[in-house]
Structure 1
Amino acid sequence: MKSLKKRRRIQVIVLATVALVIATGLIGYAMRDGINFFRSPSQVIAEPPQPNEVFRIGGLVEEGSLIRGQGELVEFLVTDGGESVKVVFGGVLPDLFAEKQGMVGTGSYVNGVFEASEILAKHDETYMPKEVVDALKEQGVYQEPGEG
């Protein structure tokens, strides 16, 4: 009788483990499109991602690089102080978007150009996304607000 209970307990544990692994796999599969990794312009230039990979890029909008085209098309360069990447965006920019200000864009890198589907800008004079601050610090060009 004890061996039957022991066998049944092992079967339940194995079944629960298999169900947990399957559930984790399904959750990961469902979320794969919602996970966007962050890259600095230097990382994009050093190791260009595949054209079908969606990721986030951030840095400062390079001064003098903002070009407004026909309709809503906008081109500019985003830099981390080390490298610059050309960004093309076909939408309405946030009100606080400006040159020499922090930004984060979501999109893909195709033929040497980052094609953005979304652009986010800082929301006040002291805020900058953590990823952008980290990338700028890595390049040695970040200054704390109130400095310099």
Structure 2
Amino acid sequence: MELTINGKKRQVDVAPDTPLLWVIREELGLTGTKYGCGVAQCGACTVLADGRPIRSCVIPVSGVADQAITTIEAIEEDPEGKRVVEAWGEHQVPQCGYCQSGQVLTATALLKRNARPGETEIAAAMVNLCRCGTYNAITDAMRQLAKG
């Protein structure tokens, strides 16, 4: 099966129902995308599929074979992703860092959809779990990014 991951065509020999997360981590060695819960609840496994955030732990690889997948390893190649990473640093969002790849990808997708999201849109989009509780710092960073 051929996948487009971070702008590169990659061949993988896996069953079509293999979760995308395991293909990314185990077959391709891109370990920035994390396993958190395995039931699409926490968001640690979030990647972008054609610019949309998806929970890769429950998506079969066959379901995204025709889409461009972006992982945290390539997010700074995107100008919006780079802005998110910089704002995360300014606001000291990362603590343990485990959830941050999913948080950054989710934030990037939101800002690409809407460069100036309001409070309600930010709250609705930024639902990934953070075990360290950095939600206030995430919201502050998103407010800054929404101002431009």
**Structure number with higher helix proportion:** 2
Same fold by TM-score greater than 0.5:
no
Q: Which has the higher contact order (CA 8 A, sep 6+)?
A: 2
Q: Return the TM-score normalized by structure 2.
A: 0.24
Structure with larger Rg: 1
**Structure number with higher strand proportion:** 1
